[in-house]
């Protein structure tokens, strides 16, 4: 189990969402909610990252099936296959695609 910064935790979430069948128009909703919900100086472990992701998906009214699929991807294609540094790179790439995530203003 590894500790992650806010950006790395969001990178793991985005990796899982991208590997799932989450509609692309909901990716930004998920990323935006994670940017808002996780305090800037947070250090999260895998368990806390999972909890935050579950809370966000429930608040965004994702179906239970979709929530389960994203959670499985979090473990099998994110936590197991990506280092925390790679997760940070995923977050960086995602914010380059969606610059409004950089300023936390909507």
pTM: 0.89
In this prediction, residue 103 has a pLDDT band, given cuts at 50, 70 and 90, of low
Q: pLDDT (tens digit, 9 = 90+) per residue, 55-87?
A: 999 999 999 999 999 999 999 988 988 989 999
Q: pLDDT (tens digit, 9 = 90+) per residue, 42-63?
A: 999 999 999 999 999 999 999 9
Q: If DSSP states are collapsed to H, E and C, what string results for the chain?
A: CCCEEHHHHHHHHHHHHHHCCCCHHHHHHHHHHHHHHCCCCCEECHHHHHHHHHHHHHHCCCCHHHHHHHHHHHHHHHHCCCCHHHHHHHHHHHHHHCCHHHHCCC
Share of the chain above pLDDT 90, in %: 78
- The mean pLDDT value of the chain amounts to 91
């Amino acid at each position: 189990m590894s500790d992650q910064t806010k950006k790395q935790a969001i990178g793991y979430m985005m990796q899982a969402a991208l590997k799932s069948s989450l509609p692309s128009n909901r990716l930004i909703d998920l990323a935006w909610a994670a940017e808002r919900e996780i305090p800037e100086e947070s250090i999260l472990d895998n368990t806390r990252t999972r909890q935050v992701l579950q809370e966000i998906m429930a608040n965004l009214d994702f179906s239970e099936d979709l929530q389960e699929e994203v959670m499985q991807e979090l473990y099998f294609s994110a936590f197991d296959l990506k280092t925390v540094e790679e997760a940070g790179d995923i977050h960086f790439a995602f914010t380059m695609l969606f610059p409004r995530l950089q300023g936390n203003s909507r």
